[in-house]
Chains A and B, each alone.
Chain A
Amino acid sequence: MISFEALHAAPPALTAHAPMLLVVGPLIAACAAAFAPTSRTSWMISVTGSIFAAWMALALLGEVARHGAVDYFMGGFAPPLGIAFHIDAAGVLMALLISSAGVMASLYSGHALPAEVRAEKHTLTQAGFLLCQAGLLGMVSTGDAFNAFVFLEVSSIGTYALIAIGEKRDRRALPAAFNYLIMGTIGATFYVVGVGFLFAATGTLNMADMGARLATLGDSSVVQAGFAFIVVGLGIKAAMFPLHGWLPGAYSYAPSLIAIFLAATATKASIYLMARFVFDVFPDGAAFGQGFIAWVLAPLAGTAAIVCSIQAVFEKEIRRMLAFSSVAQVGFILLGLSLATVAGASAGLFYLAAHALMKMTLFMALGGLAISIGARRLDELAGVARDAPWSAAAFAIGAASLAGVPLTLGFLAKWRLVAAALEAGQIWIVAVLAIASLLTLLYIGRMIEAIFFRPAPAGAPRAREAPVGVLAPLWILAGLSLWFGIDASLPEQLANAAGQALIGGAP
Chain B
Amino acid sequence: MNAGELLIFLALAVPLFAAVAIYAVGRMPDVRETLTIVACIALGIVTISIFMRVGAGDPPVWTVARPLAGLEIAFRLEPLGALFALMASLLWGVNSLFSIGYMRGKREAHQTRFYMCFALAMFAVMGIAMAANLFTLFVFYEVLTFSTYPLVTHACDARARKAGRVYLATLVGASLVLFLPGIIGVQIAAGSTAFMPGGLLDGKVSEGVGNALLLLLVFGSAKAALMPLHGWLPSAMVAPAPVSALLHAVAVVKAGVFVILKVSAYIFGPDLISALPAATWLLWVAAGSIIVASLVAMTKDDLKSRLAWSTVGQLAYVTSAALLPAATGLLAGGLHMLVHAFAKITLFMCAGAIYVATGASKVSEMRGLGRSMPIVFSCFLVGALCVIGLPPFAGMWSKFLLLNAAFGTKEWVTAAAMIVSSLLGLIYLAPVALMALLQPVGDGSPRAFIRPDGAPGPVVAAVMVTAAACVVLFVLADAVVAYLAPMTGRVR
Contact = CB atoms under 8 A, between A and B. Distances in A.
A416 B181 contact: no
Interface residues of B, number: 20
B66 interface: yes
A487 B67 contact: yes
A305 to B, nearest CB: 14
Contacts of A422: 181, 184-185, 188
Contacts of B177: 434-435, 438
Given A415-B184, A419-B184, A487 B66 contact: yes
Interface in B139-197: 139, 142, 172-173, 176-177, 180-181, 184-185, 187-188
A435 B178 CA distance: 11
Contacts of B180: 418, 434
Interface stretch (A295-303, A382-390, A404-412): A404-412
Contacts of B68: 412, 415-416, 488-489, 492
A406 B173 contact: no
B184 A405 contact: no
Nearest to A496: B69
A172 B67 CA distance: 43
Contacts of A405: 142
Interface in A445-489: 485-489
Nearest to B177: A434
B448 interface: no
Interface residues of A, number: 22
B188 A423 contact: yes
A441 B66 CA distance: 26
A418 B71 CA distance: 14
Interface in B205-262: none
Contact of A441 (B69, B139, B176, B181): B176
B73 interface: yes
Contact of B73 (A430, A441, A486): A486
A438 B67 CA distance: 23
Contact of A406 (B65, B69, B142, B184): B142
A487 B181 contact: no
A311 interface: no
A437 interface: yes
A492 B68 CA distance: 7
A412 B184 CA distance: 11
Contact of A419 (B138, B139, B172, B187): B187
Nearest to B181: A430
Contacts, number: 48
Given A418-B184, A419-B184, A422-B184, A406 B176 contact: no
Interface of B: 65-69, 71, 73, 138-139, 142, 172-173, 176-177, 180-181, 184-185, 187-188
A418 B176 CA distance: 12
Nearest to B165: A445
Interface string A421-446: 01100000010001101100100000
Contact of A485 (B67, B173, B181, B184): B67
Contacts of A416: 68
Contact of B65 (A437, A438, A487): A487
Nearest to A493: B69
Given A406-B138, A422-B185, 13 more contacts: A405-B142, A406-B139, A415-B68, A415-B71, A419-B184, A423-B188, A434-B176, A435-B177, A438-B176, A438-B177, A441-B176, A486-B65, A487-B65
A293 B185 CA distance: 25
Contacts of A488: 67-68
24 contacts: A405-B142, A406-B139, A407-B139, A412-B67, A412-B68, A412-B71, A416-B68, A418-B184, A419-B187, A422-B184, A422-B188, A434-B176, A434-B177, A437-B176, A441-B172, A486-B65, A486-B67, A486-B73, A487-B66, A487-B67, A488-B67, A489-B68, A492-B68, A492-B69
A504 B67 CA distance: 25
Nearest to B140: A406
Interface of A: 405-407, 412, 415-416, 418-419, 422-423, 430, 434-435, 437-438, 441, 485-489, 492
Nearest to A442: B169
B191 to A, nearest CB: 11
Nearest to A430: B181
A488 B142 CA distance: 20
Nearest to B189: A422
Contacts of A486: 65, 67, 73
A91 to B, nearest CB: 23
Nearest to B185: A422
A55 to B, nearest CB: 28
Contacts of A441: 172, 176
A435 B138 CA distance: 19
Nearest to B212: A427
Contacts of B176: 434, 437-438, 441
A422 B184 CA distance: 8
Contacts of A438: 173, 176-177
B181 A434 contact: yes
B116 to A, nearest CB: 16
A487 B69 CA distance: 10
A419 B66 contact: no
Contacts of B67: 412, 485-488
Nearest to B70: A419
A239 to B, nearest CB: 26
Contacts of B188: 419, 422-423
B9 to A, nearest CB: 16
B339 to A, nearest CB: 32
B276 to A, nearest CB: 19
A435 B180 CA distance: 12
Across the A-B interface, give the 4 residue pairs with the lowest CB-CB distance, nearest first.
Answer: A406-B139, A434-B177, A486-B65, A418-B184
A155 B104 CA distance: 64
Contacts of A430: 181
Nearest to A407: B139
Contacts of B181: 418, 422, 430, 434
A234 B142 CA distance: 39
B415 to A, nearest CB: 37
Contacts of B69: 492
Contacts of B142: 405-406
A438 B187 CA distance: 22
A296 B485 CA distance: 55
A405 B140 CA distance: 11
Nearest to A433: B181
A405 B143 CA distance: 10
Contacts of A489: 66, 68
Contacts of B66: 487, 489
Contacts of A419: 184, 187-188
A407 B142 CA distance: 11
Nearest to A408: B67
Contacts of B138: 406
Contacts of A437: 176
Name, among B138, B177, B184, the residue most crowded by chain A CB atoms within 10 Å (CB to CB). Answer: B184
A492 B70 CA distance: 12
B20 to A, nearest CB: 15
A50 to B, nearest CB: 29
A419 B188 CA distance: 7
Contacts of A415: 68, 71, 184
Contacts of B184: 415, 418-419, 422
B48 to A, nearest CB: 29
A416 B187 CA distance: 11
A416 B135 CA distance: 13
Contacts of A418: 180-181, 184
B171 to A, nearest CB: 12
Nearest to A437: B176
Q: Which of A406, A407, A430, A437 has its CB near the most chain B CB atoms (within 10 A)?
A: A406
Nearest to A421: B184
A496 to B, nearest CB: 9
B126 to A, nearest CB: 16
